């Protein structure tokens, strides 16, 4: 069974996952600003549905049910990494009070400083989850969801930072990179 997209390329599940994860294919874009690397990863609904099964032997009924459940949104992971090799939440702070303010910002408030520019429209972030890692890595991930447009176009995430001192950042996923996402050959 195959799942079709706009491209002619067809990949098995394992190769599809590798293709989506490969930064050379344009679904991951990043910028380095001051002491941080900011990375945006566009995650197709099919990618999410496959990853949730935690196997390359896909249950197609579960796959298509999950696609149906999540199809009205587009999903991203925003990764913020310290270039100093230290915990991102503690980079460039000098007190526990500053740490607490940063934690509150990323846990509760950063959602309001994120938007998506697409089709001459600005979309607000509708789904948001900050993943705490308690200092085990020099980065933190923020999972984002925005309403899905009726027509695909380039997607520009705008992060109007209020806490790290890096200002407004724009990260763009080009339309042709989304159009080039391959078809999946399921089982």
Q: Which band of pLDDT confidence, cut at 50, 70 and 90, is reported for residue 8?
A: low
Helix axes 13-21, 45-53, angle to 10 degrees: 120
pLDDT at 7 over 50: no
Say how many domains are in the chain. Answer: 1
Any domain includes 187? no
Q: Which structural domain range is residue 174 located in?
A: 2-182
Any domain includes 128? yes
Contacts of 108 (CB under 8 A, 6+ apart): none
Any domain includes 170? yes
Backbone dihedral angles phi then psi of residue 64, each to the nearest 5 degrees: -70, -30
- pLDDT computed for residue 109 by the predictor: 97
Any domain includes 35? yes
pTM of the model: 0.92
pLDDT tens profile 19-33:
999 999 999 999 999
Chain-centroid distance, C-alpha 104: 21
- pLDDT computed for residue 186 by the predictor: 87
Any domain includes 149? yes
Any domain includes 52? yes
pLDDT tens profile 136-149:
999 999 999 999 98
């Amino acid at each position: 069974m195959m799942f079709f997209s706009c491209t002619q390329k067809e990949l098995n599940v394992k190769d599809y996952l590798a293709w989506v994860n490969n930064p050379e294919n344009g679904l991951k874009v990043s910028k380095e600003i001051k002491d941080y690397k900011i990375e945006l990863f566009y995650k197709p609904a099919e990618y999410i549905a496959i990853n949730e099964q935690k196997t390359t032997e896909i249950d197609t009924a579960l796959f298509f049910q999950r696609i149906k459940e999540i199809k009205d949104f587009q999903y991203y992971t925003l990764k913020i990494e310290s270039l100093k090799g230290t915990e991102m939440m503690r980079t460039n702070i000098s007190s526990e009070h500053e740490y607490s303010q940063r934690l509150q910002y990323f846990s509760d408030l950063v959602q309001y400083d994120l938007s998506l520019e697409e089709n001459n429209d600005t979309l607000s972030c509708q789904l948001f989850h900050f993943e705490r890692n308690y200092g085990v890595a020099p980065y933190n991930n923020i999972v984002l969801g925005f309403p899905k447009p009726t027509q695909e176009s380039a997607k520009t995430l705008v992060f109007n930072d209020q806490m790290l001192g890096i200002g407004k950042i724009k990260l763009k996923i080009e339309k042709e990179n989304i159009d080039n996402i391959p078809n999946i050959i399921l089982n």
